[in-house]
């Protein structure tokens, strides 16, 4: 498989590339996209076959869940069976941004995305290219880091290419990622928020937000 890199310098001027990526995603293909944290490898989160391809491309065990990215808070309602007040506070305070919020998943979300779990992580990336692709695709996207499992998370299109050449058809090059570290993952399925992965947003910031 040939892996193509397309530079996106201006979302409005480069909508052709955005539309191409979105079309490929709807058709079940994989596309690497920039976010504010690291480059992500996107697949249609409602397509079990596409998600299986995502596991294979990353050489990732099938039991490890993927989170889903959406364009806005309204799309969260399409994924989560329940959105408690503390989750809404976190979405309103930090999104778009480097936080992934774990909530009970709706039955419409394939078990293959969540590793068979009854929960799903949801994130709204703070990156114009990623948001444009999400809006154009019109579906939630499973977007883990765009690297082979256990390899360093990529912060540039070249790093993605070095790891994923021949495994995926398209990389959107949006330059170097601003943060370079993954999002903070917060489980909001219980009575109190629980940090599952420390990342760009500190535990104290999360707790201060929830406690108001």
pTM recorded for the entire structure? 0.94
> Contact at 8 Å (CB) between 169 and 24?
yes
Instruction: Report the chain's C-alpha Rg in angstroms.
Output: 16
> Contact at 8 Å (CB) between 127 and 72?
no
Structure tokens at 84: 């408690």
Q: Which domain holds residue 169?
A: 4-211
CATH number for the domain harbouring residue 164: 3.90.870.10
- Give me the number of domains the chain comprises: 1
* Spatial distance between the Cα atoms of 209 and 200, rounded to a whole number of angstroms: 15
> Contact at 8 Å (CB) between 201 and 99?
yes
Q: Per-residue confidence of the chain (212 residues) as pLDDT tens digits?
A: 999 999 999 999 999 999 999 999 999 999 999 999 999 999 999 999 999 999 999 999 999 999 999 999 999 999 999 999 999 999 999 999 999 999 999 998 998 999 999 999 999 999 999 999 999 999 999 999 999 999 999 999 999 999 999 999 999 999 999 888 889 999 999 999 999 999 999 999 999 999 87
Which ranges of the chain does DSSP label H, i.e. alpha helix?
Answer: 15-26, 48-58, 73-76, 85-94, 111-114, 128-137, 157-164, 203-211
């Amino acid at each position: 498989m040939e892996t193509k890199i397309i530079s996106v310098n201006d979302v409005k001027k480069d909508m052709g590339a955005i539309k191409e990526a979105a079309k490929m995603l709807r058709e079940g293909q994989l596309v690497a996209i920039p976010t504010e944290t690291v480059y992500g490898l996107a697949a249609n989160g409602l397509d079990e076959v596409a998600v299986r391809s995502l596991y294979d491309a990353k050489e990732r065990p099938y039991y490890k869940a993927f989170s889903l990215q959406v364009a806005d808070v309204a799309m969260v309602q399409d994924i989560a069976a329940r959105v408690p007040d503390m989750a809404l506070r976190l979405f309103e305070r930090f999104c778009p941004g480097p936080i992934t919020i774990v909530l009970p998943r709706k039955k419409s979300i394939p078990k293959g995305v969540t590793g068979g779990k009854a929960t799903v992580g949801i994130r709204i990336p703070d990156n114009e290219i990623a948001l444009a692709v999400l809006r154009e695709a019109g579906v939630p996207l499973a977007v883990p880091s765009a690297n082979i499992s256990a390899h360093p998370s990529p912060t540039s299109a070249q790093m993605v290419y070095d790891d994923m050449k021949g495994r995926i058809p398209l990389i959107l090059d949006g330059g170097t990622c601003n943060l370079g570290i993954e999002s903070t993952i917060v489980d909001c399925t219980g009575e109190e928020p629980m940090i599952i992965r420390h990342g760009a947003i500190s535990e104290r910031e999360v707790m201060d937000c929830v406690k108001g």
